[in-house]
Amino acid sequence: MTTAPSAIHKLSLFWDALMSRRWPLFLLVAIGFIASILVSRYNLIDQYLELVAMYVGINIILALSLNLVNGYMGEFSVGHAGFMAVGAYGASILTVKVFAPAAGVWIFPLAIIAGGVLAAVAAVVVAIPSFRTRGDYLAIVTLSFNMIVKSVLENVDVVGGPRGFLGMEKLTTLPWTFAWTVVSVWAIRNFVYSNIGRGVLSIREDEMAGAAMGVDTRKVKLHAFVVSSFFAGVAGGLYAHLLQFISPRTFDILKSTEILIMVYLGGVGSIAGSITGAVIYTVLIEALRVLGMWRMVIMPLLLVLLMIYRPKGIFGFTEFRWFKPIAAKKGDGAIVPYMAASEPRRPTPGDELLTINGLTHYFGGLCALSDFNLKLDSGQIMGIIGPNGSGKTTLFNLISGYYRPSRGNVVFNGVEITRLRPNEINAQGIARTFQNIRLFNNLTVEDNVKVGMFNAVNYNAADAMVRTRSFIKREKYVSARVLALLELFALDKYAKELAKNLPYGQKRRLEIVRALATRPRLLLLDEPAAGMNPSETGALMELVHRIRDEFQLTVMVIEHHMSFIMGLCERITVLDFGVAIAGGAPEQIKDDKKVIEAYLGSSGSKNYRGGQ
Amino acid sequence: MVRFCTSVLIMVLLFVALTMSGCNQAKDDAIHIGVIAELTGDIPAVGASCKNAAEMAVKAVNDTGGIDIGGKKYPLKLQIEDSAGRSDQAASAAQKLITRDKVIAIIGPNASSGAIPASEIAETSKVPLISPWSTNPKTTLDPRTGKQKTYVFRACYMDSFQGRVLAAFAMGELKAKRAAVLYDVASEVLKGQAEVFKATFEEKGGAITGFETYTTGNKDFTVQMTKIKNDNPDLIFLPTYYSDVPLQVQQARRFGMNVPILGSDAWGSHDLLGLCGKDCDGSYFSSHFSANSTAPGVKKFVDDYKALYGSIPDDVAALTYDSFGILFEAMRKSGKPASEDIKNAIQKITGFQGVTGTITFHEGSGDPEKSVVILQIKDGEFKWFADIKP
């Protein structure tokens, strides 16, 4: 071995050691903070550089806060400058109009927080329409919000109207900017790597699947918007007290676009990305001054090139290791058996678990399900079969809350769940899988299952952001349980793998594990054996039996593989054109004339023996 | 690791580039003058005019061997920065010019949204700043003390001043007693003009019959015009942008209102003539500058500008030219090339003959005392009508 590679090897080992520990980061932050104090106290760098450095800090906060909504949650907000404006005006009114200028220095941090809080309140207004709209529609909602804020400010004379508001002391200094930037990075990073953060990611990956796993999408969206806007407001307050002048025009669509550029340049869904994007954008704009008017062409050009060659931005969906949670070491935390002692009492087998009365659903004029009735006892495995389009998946969607039935009701474990939202139904104890696998593709296997434990967590967003003890305790519990679950299904070796990289069969299995993590009493499996060969199907059959027994489940399964259904189910219901045409034990169904007709037409072959 | 290192490297390189920029100045005895113009952004035409006039003014001085201060001739060096029409970039441009380029004075920015934050920096750094075109009263005002900033000046008159003069003109020359106003509420400038006009007009015994608003982008003014017509005014004041004027005037005429129409400096674009046609004939508006004024120096300025850039100079070009004129005059009188002395000299300027009128500064105020040019649209041209002194 030559010396050169070993030196590189040593260096990379040293690097690894640095990256996998937290203290170098803390040290760096401390050095940075002290440096920022010294620099501004003794004018170590000229004021121009200092100004640009403060712009960088403010822009990092802005990019991070927008990244939370656009990158992590996958929504498309284009009016972020609106929140910034609310924070800027809010903080400025406090320092200029409410408190004496002399008190400014002391009141400044409070004013910044108040600006953030005001922006967060404004966010609630935007979050509510976002419950229903996504993508383009939400973009329009946020765009309108931006314009409304600007117009309102133009018409309020107390804050200068269109002429702008001034009179702020220059309270934003380098140390303050540095401190706020660090706080923002820390809080948003903590928010993202928490239970609610996983909820945010599940919305980006697949909102419907997230809701089915018990994620309260409304609560999550509201939280994400509020946190994001709070920091946009903080950035606004800092900006106002740096320039000592704000006008409604400062916070127009162009400002929002600037933030968007920083986010997409640096990379969506990445803290490191937001920091990089903000630094490059801000410094480049200044460094390119020599180019005169061409400099404003360079930035968009850079972005176009980036979008062609690296559509997710420099750091898209990847994270710098310092920002990721430190991986739990083997033996960390107690091994939690899957069935914890605190499990709620499950209904004893024989109890009636699910009752469906006269469930009817129309798609426009088409009757997808007509007057469906069912009584399902606890502990049973029940199959639903029927030709394509006979209403099987519609039935599942009605039970799990995706559709509101036109008529009829569903009672689960003594609770009427007909009008509940999918996540509420999940919380009642119903979990499901999907016909076309709907995993959170860009999350790891581990995180997929952790999303399933969304409701098993009792800390709130504030706990997550400051990492309280209850957070640490609960996260340890969640990690241990998820690992135990994965081990149980032989998926633990894939724990850190992205779900999209799993082989097909494992994806099916993971979807079941994710559903189990929600601790259901009733599991709805929608064509779990689709695309499997006979030996895989056999293994799946065994698996379903096993989980029914081990997890004390009741199972409803839709399948086309007759051998699977016949071998697995204790009861079968046959649907045809939305009507239940037969029901009973597998043997009865096999010989039912109506069933054979439905599958093979009225002149059906007598030899039909359900998949034999 | 590779990506991390690369991006850190890029960021460090960028910062180094930023640290180095502006450091490569030769140690000559040239005096540096900074210009902040809106070269990009939403009003690039303003920035272009400003840049043109600045280069022309400096070249004229350098062609004579430089500026004579205290018996010594100093060559001038112009450093032009872009504000992109944004507040933050105007501030960083001002900070760069002062810190890096060590400019002795700054001309610009033109837009008030840039001029205000830039003027804060100029004031704290004690570098004189003259904004050619910023009409917002807050540019020269220190909001904390309520007093005028000492290092900040402007070459134009303010909206309030314009509104007062226009009201006087409407009642005096045009003998109006009842005026209606329609203005763009989204524009700080226009709103200010409308309000001051109303106040002055009423103060002098006139009646404002209608005070109607719209917002930028509106194309239909029938509702407002119906209201205005019902009150039967004998003059309509339209402090609106030139792009809106044709529709408004045409709709007013269609309603059968043949009263005189008065506009403000926002009308001052040659595009107005083509868009409005005969409908605007006979209307008046105020301006900072008239290219066909008979005042001394104007013809030479217009000819020189036309020879260099192939177009007739607009308000911004003329005001920038006068800003440099004021600065040069002050530099010659300052005795030594220092920001402080130049500031003192600007404050003492009286009766400066600029292309936009006679300019006088009073100690303790950055706002000049100067005349307002009234133009009339006649036969598809802007014709000089009168110089109204305050």
Rounded to two decimals, the ipTM of the complex is 0.84
Residues of chain B found within 8 Å of residue A55, distances taken between Cβ atoms: 88, 92
Residues of chain B found within 8 Å of residue A267, distances taken between Cβ atoms: none
Task: List, in sequence order, the alpha helices (H) in A429-555.
Answer: 445-452, 461-466, 469-488, 504-517, 534-550
Are A189 and A67 within 8 A, CB to CB? Answer: no
Which of A154, A290, A296 is opposite residue B186, by nearest beta carbon?
A: A154
Give the rounded distance of the alpha carbon of A559 from its chain centre: 30
Q: Which residue's entry shows tokens 């389009």?
A: A389
Range of the structural domain that residue B232 is part of: 159-287
Beta carbons of A51 and B95 less than 8 Å apart = yes
Burial of B170-181, coded b for 16+ CB within 10 Å and e otherwise, reads bbeeeebebbbb
Contacts of B109 (CB under 8 A, 6+ apart): B36, B37, B38, B83, B90, B93, B115, B118, B131, B134
> Which of A315-319, B2-6, B119-123, B325-329 shows the lowest per-residue confidence on average (mean pLDDT)?
B2-6
Residue A594, domain CATH: 3.40.50.300
Residue of A nearest to B86 (CA): A250
Residues of chain A found within 8 Å of residue B137, distances taken between Cβ atoms: 163
Query: What secondary structure letter does DSSP report for B219?
Result: -
Instruction: Output the 3-class SS for A138-166.
Output: HHHHHHHHHHHHHHHHHHCHHHCHHHCEE
Adjacent-strand bridge partners of B386: B374
How many DSSP H helices and E strands does chain A contain?
A: 22, 12
Q: How many CB pairs under 8 A join A and B?
A: 130
Mutating which of A44, A279, A289 best tests the B interface, going by the most B Cβ atoms within 10 A? Answer: A289
Residues of chain A found within 8 Å of residue B143, distances taken between Cβ atoms: 166-167
The answer as to whether B22 is a domain residue is no
The answer as to whether B4 is a domain residue is no
Beta carbons of B93 and A246 less than 8 Å apart = no
Q: How far apart are CA A19 and CA A320, in angstroms?
A: 9
Asked whether residue B189 falls in the same domain as residue B281, the answer is: yes
The answer as to whether B97 is a domain residue is yes
Range of the structural domain that residue A580 is part of: 352-440+517-600
Copy the structure tokens of residue A272.
């490191």
Q: How far apart are CA A232 and CA A115, in angstroms?
A: 9
Burial of A346-379, coded b for 16+ CB within 10 Å and e otherwise, reads bbeeeeebbbbeebbbeeeeebbbbebebebbbb
Query: What secondary structure letter does DSSP report for A27?
Result: H
Comparison of pLDDT for A398 and A9, the residue scoring more? A398
The answer as to whether A262 is a domain residue is no
Residues of chain B found within 8 Å of residue A166, distances taken between Cβ atoms: 116, 138, 143
Residue of A nearest to B19 (CA): A49
The answer as to whether A610 is a domain residue is no
Q: How far apart are CA B67 and CA B61, in angstroms?
A: 6
Instruction: State pLDDT tens for residues A206-265.
Output: 999 999 999 999 999 999 999 999 999 999 999 999 999 999 989 999 899 999 999 999
The answer as to whether B376 is a domain residue is no
Beta carbons of A46 and B100 less than 8 Å apart = yes
Asked whether residue A227 falls in the same domain as residue A359, the answer is: no
- The whole-angstrom distance between A162's CA and the closest CA on chain B is 5
Contacts of B71 (CB under 8 A, 6+ apart): none
Are B170 and B193 within 8 A, CB to CB? Answer: no
Residue B114 has pLDDT above 50, yes or no: yes
Percent helix, strand, coil in chain B (nearest 5)? 45, 20, 35
Residues of chain B found within 8 Å of residue A15, distances taken between Cβ atoms: 1
Q: How far apart are CA A99 and CA B143, in angstroms?
A: 15
- The whole-angstrom distance between B47's CA and the closest CA on chain A is 10
- The whole-angstrom distance between B281's CA and the closest CA on chain A is 32
Instruction: State pLDDT tens for residues B9-38.
Output: 777 777 777 777 655 555 568 999 999 999
Q: How far apart are CA B192 and CA B381, in angstroms?
A: 27
Mutating which of B81, B87, B120 best tests the A interface, going by the most A Cβ atoms within 10 A? Answer: B87
Are A29 and A182 within 8 A, CB to CB? Answer: yes
Asked whether residue B280 falls in the same domain as residue B300, the answer is: no
The whole-number pLDDT of residue A607 equals 45
The answer as to whether B15 is a domain residue is no
The whole-number pLDDT of residue A612 equals 36
Asked whether residue A358 falls in the same domain as residue A237, the answer is: no
Asked whether residue B349 falls in the same domain as residue B360, the answer is: yes
Mutating which of B19, B92, B112, B160 best tests the A interface, going by the most A Cβ atoms within 10 A? Answer: B92
> Which of A16-20, A181-185, A367-371, B173-177 shows the lowest per-residue confidence on average (mean pLDDT)?
A16-20
> How does DSSP assign B162-207, residue by residue?
HHHHHHHHHHHTS--SEEEEEEETT-HHHHHHHHHHHHHHHHTT-E
Comparison of pLDDT for B315 and A322, the residue scoring more? B315
Highest mean pLDDT among A198-202, A283-287, A348-352, B19-23: A198-202
| Mean pLDDT, residues B314-322 taken together | 94
Asked whether residue B260 falls in the same domain as residue B196, the answer is: yes
The answer as to whether A66 is a domain residue is yes
Instruction: State pLDDT tens for residues B171-199.
Output: 998 999 999 999 988 777 888 899 999 99
Instruction: State pLDDT tens for residues B130-144.
Output: 999 998 888 999 887
Residues of chain A found within 8 Å of residue B83, distances taken between Cβ atoms: none
The whole-number pLDDT of residue A604 equals 42
Instruction: Please state whether beta strands B284-287 and A571-576 pair in parallel, antiparallel, or not at all (unpaired).
Output: unpaired
The answer as to whether A35 is a domain residue is no
Residues of chain B found within 8 Å of residue A284, distances taken between Cβ atoms: 14
The whole-number pLDDT of residue B23 equals 53
Residues of chain B found within 8 Å of residue A254, distances taken between Cβ atoms: 42, 86
The whole-number pLDDT of residue B387 equals 82
pLDDT category at A341 given cuts 50, 70, 90 is very low
Which of A51, A101, A166 is opposite residue B92, by nearest beta carbon?
A: A51
Query: What secondary structure letter does DSSP report for B129?
Result: E
Which of A12, A55, A287 is opposite residue B14, by nearest beta carbon?
A: A287
Report the number of distinct structural domains present in chain A: 2
pLDDT category at A328 given cuts 50, 70, 90 is low
Asked whether residue A104 falls in the same domain as residue A237, the answer is: yes
Asked whether residue A219 falls in the same domain as residue A357, the answer is: no
Asked whether residue B186 falls in the same domain as residue B272, the answer is: yes
Copy the structure tokens of residue A447.
């995180």
Beta carbons of A290 and B21 less than 8 Å apart = yes
Residue of A nearest to B15 (CA): A283
Map residue B115 onto helix, strand or coil.
Answer: helix
The answer as to whether A319 is a domain residue is no
Residue B328 has pLDDT above 90, yes or no: yes
Asked whether residue B135 falls in the same domain as residue B163, the answer is: no
- The whole-angstrom distance between A480's CA and the closest CA on chain B is 29
Asked whether residue B146 falls in the same domain as residue B198, the answer is: no
The answer as to whether A471 is a domain residue is no
Residues of chain B found within 8 Å of residue A301, distances taken between Cβ atoms: none
Q: What is the mean pLDDT of chain A?
A: 88
The whole-number pLDDT of residue A327 equals 65
Instruction: State pLDDT tens for residues B243-302.
Output: 889 999 999 999 889 999 999 988 877 778 888 888 889 999 998 888 888 888 899 999
pLDDT category at A329 given cuts 50, 70, 90 is low
The whole-number pLDDT of residue A124 equals 92
Instruction: State pLDDT tens for residues A116-173.
Output: 999 999 999 888 877 777 677 888 999 999 999 999 998 888 888 888 898 888 999 9
The whole-number pLDDT of residue A611 equals 40
Asked whether residue A215 falls in the same domain as residue A78, the answer is: yes
Identify which of B329, B323, B359, B325 has the alpha carbon closest to the alpha carbon of residue B344. Answer: B329
Beta carbons of B87 and A246 less than 8 Å apart = yes
Residue A431 has pLDDT above 90, yes or no: yes
Counting Cβ atoms within 10 Å, is residue B255 exposed (0-12), middle (13-18) or buried (19+)? middle
Mutating which of B88, B106, B139, B187 best tests the A interface, going by the most A Cβ atoms within 10 A? Answer: B88
Give the rounded distance of the alpha carbon of B104 from its chain centre: 21
Count CB-CB contacts under 10 A for residue B280.
23
- Which of B265, B287, B309 lies at the terminal end of a domain, its last residue? B287
pLDDT category at A605 given cuts 50, 70, 90 is very low
Residue of B nearest to A252 (CA): B86
- The whole-angstrom distance between B95's CA and the closest CA on chain A is 5
The answer as to whether B9 is a domain residue is no
| Mean pLDDT, residues A276-295 taken together | 87
Comparison of pLDDT for A605 and B366, the residue scoring more? B366
Which of B14, B91, B188 is opposite residue A283, by nearest beta carbon?
A: B14
pLDDT category at A3 given cuts 50, 70, 90 is low
Region at B277 (left for phi over 0; alpha for psi -120 to 50; beta for the rest): left
Residue B189, domain CATH: 3.40.50.2300
Residues of chain A found within 8 Å of residue B124, distances taken between Cβ atoms: 170
Contacts of B338 (CB under 8 A, 6+ apart): B104
Instruction: Please state whether beta strands A366-377 and A352-363 pair in parallel, antiparallel, or not at all (unpaired).
Output: antiparallel
Asked whether residue B148 falls in the same domain as residue B43, the answer is: yes
Asked whether residue B110 falls in the same domain as residue B151, the answer is: yes
- The whole-angstrom distance between A52's CA and the closest CA on chain B is 7
Residue of B nearest to A285 (CA): B89
The answer as to whether B282 is a domain residue is yes
Which of B1, B11, B186 is opposite residue A280, by nearest beta carbon?
A: B11
CA angle A584, A588, A594 (to 5 degrees): 90
Give the rounded distance of the alpha carbon of A102 from its chain centre: 44
Mutating which of B1, B9, B18 best tests the A interface, going by the most A Cβ atoms within 10 A? Answer: B18
The whole-number pLDDT of residue B381 equals 85
Which of B17, B89, B120 is opposite residue A287, by nearest beta carbon?
A: B17
| Mean pLDDT, residues A440-467 taken together | 92
Asked whether residue A431 falls in the same domain as residue A552, the answer is: yes
Residues of chain B found within 8 Å of residue A293, distances taken between Cβ atoms: 39-40, 44, 82
The answer as to whether A244 is a domain residue is yes
Residue of B nearest to A96 (CA): B144
Report the number of distinct structural domains present in chain B: 2
Asked whether residue A241 falls in the same domain as residue A357, the answer is: no
Instruction: State pLDDT tens for residues A561-577.
Output: 888 999 999 999 999 99
pLDDT category at B127 given cuts 50, 70, 90 is very high
Residues of chain A found within 8 Å of residue B92, distances taken between Cβ atoms: 48, 51-52, 55, 286
The whole-number pLDDT of residue A601 equals 67
Beta carbons of A286 and B84 less than 8 Å apart = no
Residues of chain B found within 8 Å of residue A102, distances taken between Cβ atoms: none
Which of B39, B99, B187 is opposite residue A46, by nearest beta carbon?
A: B99
Copy the structure tokens of residue A473.
């305790």
Asked whether residue A182 falls in the same domain as residue A55, the answer is: yes
Q: State how far the alpha carbon of A290 is from the alpha carbons of A303, B28, B101, B130, B180, in Å.
A: 20, 20, 12, 23, 49
Residue A331 has pLDDT above 60, yes or no: no
Residues of chain B found within 8 Å of residue A46, distances taken between Cβ atoms: 99-100
Q: What is the mean pLDDT of chain B?
A: 89
Beta carbons of B91 and A320 less than 8 Å apart = no
Q: Which residue's entry shows tokens 């299952």?
A: A449
The answer as to whether A592 is a domain residue is yes
Asked whether residue B278 falls in the same domain as residue B213, the answer is: yes
Instruction: Output the 3-class SS for A558-581.
Output: ECCCHHHHHHHCCEEEEEECCEEE
Please give the single-letter amino acid code of residue A241.
H
Which of A12, A162, A295 is opposite residue B188, by nearest beta carbon?
A: A162
Map residue B76 onto helix, strand or coil.
Answer: strand
Residue A332 has pLDDT above 60, yes or no: no
- Which of A252, A267, A295 lies at the terminal end of a domain, its last residue? A252
Adjacent-strand bridge partners of B129: B106, B152
Beta carbons of B136 and A163 less than 8 Å apart = yes
